[in-house]
Amino acid sequence: MSLKELEVKYATKRRRPYKLADGGGLHVLVQPTGSKLWRMKYRFAGKEKLLSFGKYPEVSMASARAMRDTAKALLAEGKDPGAARKASAPAPALNTNSFEVIARQWHANRIESLNETHASRLLNRFERDVFPSIGARPIVEITAPEILKLIQVVENRGALDVSRRIKQSIGQVFRFAIANGWATNDPSIHLTGALKPRPKVRHMARLPLQRLPELVQAINAYDGDEDPRRREITREALLFTLLTWCRTSETRFAAWHEFEELDGTNPIWRIPGERMKMDREHIVPLSHQAVDLLRRQLRATNGEGLVFPGTKVGKPISQNTMIYACYRMGYRGRQTVHGFRGMASTWANEQEVYNSDWIELALAHSEEDDIRGAYNSALYLTPRRRMLQHWADTLSRAADNQALPPERGVMKAEAPAVCANSEAGNVVAFPTASRFQLGPRPA
């Protein structure tokens, strides 16, 4: 059903961005600031893309619908309306190159490669924290102290992570301007060392690696729920989280359509960007043990909806299900579910055969800067698969009560051989270990 003018005019702001659909892919994105932006979703060459038509009421409903119809006509001709718009867009004149004009063009240039939530958040940061200070200034006249001043305003409200991301984005705008001949230098590079340091990270509670067998066996024997089916789901969710190094929310909302090639040689879990902390798609290569666990859940759920369903139809297990299970197992204050990731990271680093980039990608850690290259969810997939399989085999040994070597706290499979070019991801395969032997379930 099409929107009415009054619905758009009186749409109220909320804590999170939300959409008002008009039909044909056209919708209004209502920002937490109250601004209302016309957007159009469409698919071209099998990929979902996004067009931006401007802000309401500057762009009227009739104008937005006309632009949608034009875009749909181009699609009917087999043309990408986003590419057609870029080809026809005139470059801004050099003498009118304000920072805001160029920043918005930089954002429009990137928008098709970003998911909608991240694209909206990026522009919102500029509108809230950057444009009021330097948006109207000619880009060639902006200095490092001006940029530092606006960043310090963000720092002073305690948003240190946001302040760094703003600095990175401003630098990207300047590099975009330099490439197009609208600026000659990037003053943001002179801010290194001028920003407040990040506070020391408080790591989630976790057991030492020597206690890994105890933890795995406690999960296998978990009997903290009265309902046998609830016990089974909680137990499997904990094991799956431990096997995949994922976050609690990623396990809770795991859906069957996200899994690929479960019967093939390279099974993966493709988590969409909107469910990830960094708003980027993340691919998890699945170990044999993870696939076996999924097959058990597949039989229990008939492969419909969520992998770990909650008590209500169509809803996942609650956000407290797994952490409360840790409490019931006696780990309150000693082991959190998020701490599984820290335990796995410590194990991988202490093996001394795994590149730190593989470990960081497996944990879905990635800076929003492009210094180290564009993020690729499939990067290092082969060595990451071997690493996660080695970890799963380590957990299988833990389930069989094989103790960890006390001198290093690392449970090692048979020592892996590493090729000379291991930095390129060519790690020799590990000897095959037994899969999870979960043993008899508590009644």
At 119-138, the pLDDT tens digits run 888 898 999 999 999 999 99
Cite the DSSP H helix spans in 287-380.
288-301, 321-328, 339-351, 356-362
Domain boundaries, the chain: 1-89, 95-200, 209-424
Q: Is 380 a catalytic residue?
A: no
Q: What is the largest CA-CA distance in the chain?
A: 77
In angstroms, the CA 159 to CA 351 distance is 36
Average predicted confidence (pLDDT) for the chain: 81
Catalytic entry in 79, 365, 408, 441: 365
Catalytic entry in 14, 157, 203, 277: 277
Average pLDDT over residues 81-96: 66
Query: CA distances (Å), 110 to each of 49, 115, 123, in order?
Result: 11, 10, 11
In angstroms, the CA 345 to CA 388 distance is 11
| 299 pLDDT higher than 70 | yes
Q: What is the pLDDT of residues 214-253, one digit of tens each?
A: 888 889 888 877 788 889 999 999 999 999 999 999 999 9
Q: What one-character-per-residue DSSP string does 244-285 give?
A: HT--HHHHHT-BGGGEE-TTSSS-EEEE-GGGSTTSS-EEEE
Lowest mean pLDDT among 95-104, 126-135, 413-422: 413-422
Q: What is the fold, at CATH topology level, of the domain defined by 95-200? A: DNA polymerase; domain 1 (1.10.150)
Q: Is 13 a catalytic residue?
A: no
Catalytic entry in 341, 385, 386, 397: 341
pLDDT given at position 411: 39
Q: Is 375 a catalytic residue?
A: yes
| 94 pLDDT higher than 60 | no
| 442 pLDDT higher than 70 | no
Catalytic entry in 247, 384, 386, 390: 247
Catalytic entry in 72, 110, 375, 412: 375
Which superfamily does 209-424 belong to? Intergrase catalytic core (1.10.443.10)
Q: Is 441 a catalytic residue?
A: no
Q: Is 385 a catalytic residue?
A: no
Looking at mean pLDDT, say which of 1-15, 390-404, 412-426 comes out highest. 1-15
Average pLDDT over residues 302-330: 89
pLDDT given at position 158: 77
pLDDT given at position 198: 67
Burial 270-290 (b: 16+ CB within 10 A, else e): ebebebbeebbbbbbbbbbbb
Amino acid found at 83: A
pLDDT given at position 110: 84
| 352 pLDDT higher than 50 | yes
Which superfamily does 1-89 belong to? Integrase, DNA-binding domain (3.30.160.390)
Q: What is the pLDDT of residues 190-212, one digit of tens each?
A: 998 888 876 654 555 667 778 88
pLDDT given at position 371: 29
Compute the 3-state secondary structure of the chain and give helix, strand, coil in percent, each to the nearest 5: 50, 10, 40
Q: What is the pLDDT of residues 258-268, one digit of tens each?
A: 999 999 999 99
Cβ contacts of 288-292, under 8 Å, gap ≥ 24: 288/389, 288/392, 288/435, 289/243, 289/392, 289/393, 289/395, 289/396, 289/435, 289/436, 290/240, 290/243, 290/244, 290/388, 290/392, 291/262, 291/267, 292/435, 292/436
Average pLDDT over residues 326-351: 85
pLDDT given at position 408: 38
Q: Is 149 a catalytic residue?
A: no
In angstroms, the CA 197 to CA 160 distance is 8
